[in-house]
Amino acid sequence: MNENNLTVSKTARFYTAGQLTEQTKKIVFVLHGYGQLAANFLQEFSPLFNENIFFIAPEALNRFYVKGTFNEAGATWMTKEDRTSEIKDYINYLEQLYEQIIPKNCIAEIILLGFSQGSSTVSRWANATEHHFDKLVFYAGEIAPDVIPLQYHSPILASKNYYAYGNQDKFIPEAMFQQRVKLYDQLNLTILPFDGGHDIKLEVIEKILND
């Protein structure tokens, strides 16, 4: 039995909030976590929607039914199966999305944020991209192990990097958090702890936006 691969076209879905104009001051890509959908994830940022910020929420290419029923669907950026191809596919997808939306003469601050599984995804994209970004946010997730240690030419070394962590996050015990902080020393992270679990805290996002 031989494994084979065929590159095909696929329709990718993404959502936006706000208007991208010459007056836009910040453009924020927000990458959802495992089992989420982009529309629902973007809605969590709705209190921050205003005329100065443009949000882009790409949805992972792989969807499935969650909770063991056919009532609710979610998406995942990748699984362990054929992971090399899936990583390549989602990086290409995110690169194309950036090229389609962001004008070449854009002067707005560009922020890349990954939540939970989206943290690994955004770390791989940021490490491989040829496009400019100013801030990189890892929120309640892991930086992909294959990104660390960073190569000298990694774009991540030139950005402002943040790690947001809830002290009651059941997926990231304190010992794991401390281990990750040491592992990620090269990234010169600004650590943003907060009281809470595995969820988005708008006060944390506002700190990043205003920093």
CATH of the domain at 82: 3.40.50.1820
Tell me, yes or no, if the pTM score tops 0.85: yes
Residue 134: predicted pLDDT:
97
Mean pLDDT, rounded, for 77-96: 94
Other CB atoms within 10 A of residue 67 CB: 9
Structural domain includes residue 19: yes
Domain annotation covers residue 130: yes
Q: Residue 38: inside a domain, yes or no?
A: yes
For residue 9, is it within any domain? no
Look at the chain and report how many structural domains it folds into. 1
- The angle at the Cα of 112, spanning 111 to 113, to the nearest 5 degrees, equals 115
Q: Is 86 within the bounds of a domain?
A: yes
Whether 3 is in a domain gets the answer no
**Beta carbons within 10 angstroms of residue 123's beta carbon:** 27
Q: Which two tokens stand for residue 186?
A: 């090269």
Three-state secondary-structure class, residue 144: coil
The answer to whether position 5 is within a domain reads no
Per residue in 35-78, pLDDT (tens digit) is: 999 999 999 999 999 999 999 999 999 998 998 778 899 999 99
In a domain, 192, yes or no: yes
- Contact between 125 and 148 under an 8 Å Cβ cutoff? The reply is no
Distance CA 84, CA 118 (A): 16
| Angle (nearest 5°) at CA 28 between 22 and 31 | 150
Expressed as residue numbers, the domain containing 161 is: 14-210
Percent of residues, the chain, with pLDDT higher than 70: 100
